[in-house]
């Protein structure tokens, strides 16, 4: 046992049950095969009514899950060109994905998406549906107001005409205000001033640091 760790083991092999004359198994260099040979034959599969019914259930369930709204399809990658037919296809998919969770049971932050897609994705069709309703109400109101005006006479009409320009003027003022506001918040000038000063300082500092 002189050559410690040189090919020989540090202990007598007999103690772990390997006899004197026996060879140790050769050391393994290759990785184990992906499909190792089967020593024992596998047991046959379960058969019978129960197993078959369960199998049918599994297949049916998987099939059903694909048709439910919970099966979320990834957004299709954008094609090279936007096509006219695209928007109709989108509407079809959004119909499939119709599912309204009970928002009392979900965190609110998840809800935002509910309003968004309806604005973004289905712009054309819902508007058409909503359009006539709104129009009817407006038309009725207009008609009523017109009727009243006709009854009251022409003097009111003149007043109304006077009012309109006033309103326009007010609108103009508002727009002007916004512009002023933008000017106030624009800090481009001051930014440039600061930048120059700061740059000079840092250069000086650099020089000091080097020497």
Quick check: 58 binds other proteins (CB under 8 A)?
yes
> To the nearest whole angstrom, how small is the minimum distance from the Cβ of residue 91 to other proteins?
16
Q: Under the criterion CB under 8 A, does residue 4 sit at the interface with other proteins?
A: no
Tokens of 21: 């004359």
- In the bound state with other proteins, the residue whose beta carbon lies nearer, of 1 and 129, is 1
Number of residues in contact with other proteins under rule CB under 8 A: 45
Q: Which two tokens stand for residue 98?
A: 């119709």
| 76 sits near other proteins (criterion: CB under 8 A) | no
Residue owning tokens 């198994």: 25
CB of 160 to other proteins, least distance (A): 44
Contact string (CB under 8 A) for other proteins, positions 96-135, x = contact? -x---xx-xxxxxxx-xx--xx------------------
If binding is defined by CB under 8 A, does position 188 make contact with other proteins?
Answer: no
Out of 72, 81, 124, 206, point to the residue binding other proteins (CB under 8 A). 72
Nearest approach in angstroms of CB 126 to other proteins is: 18
What tokens were used for 19? Answer: 């006899």
Regarding 55 and contact with other proteins (CB under 8 A), the answer is: yes
If the CB atoms of residues 101 and 126 are measured against other proteins, the closer one turns out to be: 101
Contact between 208 and other proteins per CB under 8 A:
no
Residues 67-72: contacts with CB under 8 Å, at least 24 apart: 69/96, 69/97, 69/98, 69/99, 70/99, 72/97
Q: Which of 2, 24, 45, 189 is the binder for other proteins (CB under 8 A)?
A: 45
Q: Do residues 99 and 72 make contact, with C-beta atoms less than 8 angstroms apart?
A: no
What count of Cα atoms within 13 Å lies in the side-chain half-sphere of residue 198?
Answer: 6
Greatest Cα pair distance in the chain: 128
| Spatial contact of 87 and 124, defined as CB atoms under 8 Å apart | yes
Q: How many CB atoms lie within 10 A of CB 156?
A: 13
Does position 192 bind other proteins by CB under 8 A?
A: no
Residue 126's nearest CA partner among 169, 94, 158 is 94
């Amino acid at each position: 046992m002189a050559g410690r760790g040189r090919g020989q083991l540090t202990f007598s092999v007999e103690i772990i049950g390997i006899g004197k004359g026996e060879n140790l198994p050769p050391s393994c260099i290759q990785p184990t095969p992906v499909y190792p040979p089967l020593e024992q034959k596998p047991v046959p599969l379960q058969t019978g009514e129960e197993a078959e019914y369960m199998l049918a259930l599994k297949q049916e369930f998987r099939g059903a899950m694909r048709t439910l709204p919970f099966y979320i399809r990834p957004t299709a990658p954008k094609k090279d060109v936007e096509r006219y037919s695209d928007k109709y296809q989108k509407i079809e998919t959004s119909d499939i994905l119709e599912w309204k969770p009970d928002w009392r049971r979900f965190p609110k932050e998840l809800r935002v998406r509910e309003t968004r897609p309806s604005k973004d994705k289905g712009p054309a069709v819902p508007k058409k549906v909503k359009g006539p309703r709104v129009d009817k109400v407006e038309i009725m109101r207009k008609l009523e107001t017109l009727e009243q005006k006709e009854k009251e006479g022409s003097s009111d009409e003149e007043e109304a005409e006077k009012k309109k320009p006033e309103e326009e003027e007010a609108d103009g003022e508002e727009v002007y205000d916004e512009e002023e506001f933008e000017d106030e918040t624009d800090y481009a000038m001051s930014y440039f001033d600061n930048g120059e000063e700061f740059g000079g300082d840092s250069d000086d500092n650099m020089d000091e640091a080097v020497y």
